[in-house]
């Protein structure tokens, strides 16, 4: 049995498959046209497991997956973990985590309500600014929250900025720059050292 690799479905997966292919790791079936979630690799007998990004750190932390590819936003939101190491910045999935609000709206008011999927990052960010905010946790389509008067502003991922623009919002402050990272389970790092290092070397060469 090769290594088990947890992959963040969606945008990151799209960019990560060509990188894995370049490193010689390819799924035996076409991921896009299948409803399956677990794929064997053509070489190396690795297992590629497709899942929601927020679950990747959990699978790797508990050792259900040896490795994971996931956005830095997800890792920051997950918080400190003793079960895995962040080993490589893959440079893919590059975007920014930003505050955004309806065009022309001032955020100087005293009590600010912020809608986000990134509750922990948002709390830390405003705390560092010495600003008290109410945070409303949502799981997607954050852009509509200010339009529906649920929140004054949002904290979300911005790539091209098109989603914000299409919904009458403007990006304000960059909280942090994001890219996808390779994480490695702490125990796998010891017990499967050679295989893990060989995998990392292949990915590094493909970057
Ligand atoms: C992200 C984010 C925005 C969009 C920004 O969502 O939440 O909605 O991308 O991209 P843009 O600046 O290029 O318009 P994503 O499509 O990753 O889906 P998600 O809501 O499931 O995270």
Q: Using a 6 Å cutoff on CB, does residue 140 contact ligand 1?
A: yes
Q: Using a 6 Å cutoff on CB, does residue 29 contact ligand 1?
A: no
pLDDT at 159 over 80: yes
Distance 192 CA to ligand 1 centre (A): 36
Q: How would residue 110 be classed by pLDDT, with cut points 50, 70 and 90?
A: confident
Q: Using a 6 Å cutoff on CB, does residue 139 contact ligand 1?
A: no
Q: How would residue 105 be classed by pLDDT, with cut points 50, 70 and 90?
A: confident
Distance 187 CA to ligand 1 centre (A): 33
Distance 166 CA to ligand 1 centre (A): 12
pLDDT at 53 over 90: yes
Q: 4-93+179-206 has which CATH code?
A: 3.40.190.10
- The 3-state DSSP class for residue 93 equals coil
pLDDT at 109 over 80: no
Superfamily of 95-176 according to CATH? Periplasmic binding protein-like II (3.40.190.10)
* Substitution site in 163, 165, 168, 170 for ligand 1 pocket (most atoms within 8 Å of beta carbon): 163
Which residue's CA lies nearest to atom 16 of ligand 1?
11
Q: How would residue 94 be classed by pLDDT, with cut points 50, 70 and 90?
A: very high
What is the residue-averaged pLDDT of the chain? 96
Specify the pairing of strand 95-102 against strand 169-178.
antiparallel
pLDDT at 133 over 90: yes
The edge-to-edge listing of strands for the beta sheet with 95-102 is 133-137, 112-116, 153-158, 95-102, 169-178
Distance 157 CA to ligand 1 centre (A): 6
Q: How would residue 111 be classed by pLDDT, with cut points 50, 70 and 90?
A: confident
Q: What is the pLDDT of residues 18-29, one digit of tens each?
A: 999 999 999 999
What percentage of residues in the chain have a pLDDT greater than 70? 100
pLDDT at 147 over 90: yes
Close Cβ partners of 50 (under 8 Å, ≥ 6 residues apart): 7, 9, 13, 31, 37, 38, 39
Distance 158 CA to ligand 1 centre (A): 7
pLDDT reported for residue 108: 83
Q: Using a 6 Å cutoff on CB, does residue 159 contact ligand 1?
A: yes
The alpha carbon of 64 is separated from its chain's Cα centroid by a whole number of angstroms, namely 18
Q: Are the C-beta atoms of 131 and 123 separated by less than 8 Å?
A: no
The alpha carbon of 33 is separated from its chain's Cα centroid by a whole number of angstroms, namely 23
Say if 4-93+179-206 and 95-176 have the same CATH topology.
Answer: yes
Q: What is the pLDDT of residues 58-80, one digit of tens each?
A: 999 999 999 999 999 999 999 98
The domains of the chain are located at 4-93+179-206, 95-176
pLDDT reported for residue 58: 98
Which residue's CA lies nearest to atom 7 of ligand 1?
157
Q: What is the pLDDT of residues 161-207, one digit of tens each?
A: 999 999 999 999 999 999 999 999 999 999 999 999 999 999 999 99
Q: Tell which atom from ligand 1 comes closest to the C-alpha of 141.
A: 20
């Amino acid at each position: 049995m090769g290594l088990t690799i947890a992959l963040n479905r969606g945008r990151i997966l799209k960019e990560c498959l060509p990188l894995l292919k370049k490193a010689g790791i390819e799924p035996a079936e076409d991921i896009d046209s299948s409803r399956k979630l677990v794929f064997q690799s053509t070489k190396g007998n690795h297992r590629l497991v497709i899942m929601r990004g927020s679950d990747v750190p959990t699978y790797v932390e508990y050792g259900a997956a040896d490795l994971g590819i996931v956005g830095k936003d997800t890792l920051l939101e997950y918080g400190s973990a003793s079960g895995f190491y962040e080993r490589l910045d893959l440079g893919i999935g590059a975007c920014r985590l930003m505050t955004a609000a309806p065009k022309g709206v001032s955020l100087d008011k005293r009590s600010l309500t912020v809608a986000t999927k990134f509750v922990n990052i948002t709390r830390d960010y405003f705390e560092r600014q010495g600003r008290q905010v109410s945070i409303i946790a949502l799981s997607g389509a954050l852009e509509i929250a200010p339009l529906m008067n649920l929140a004054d502003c949002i904290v979300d991922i911005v790539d091209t900025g098109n989603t914000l623009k299409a919904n009458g919002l403007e990006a304000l402050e960059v909280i942090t720059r994001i890219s996808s990272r390779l994480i490695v389970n702490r125990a796998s790092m010891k017990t499967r050292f050679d295989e893990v290092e060989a995998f990392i070397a292949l990915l590094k060469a493909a970057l």
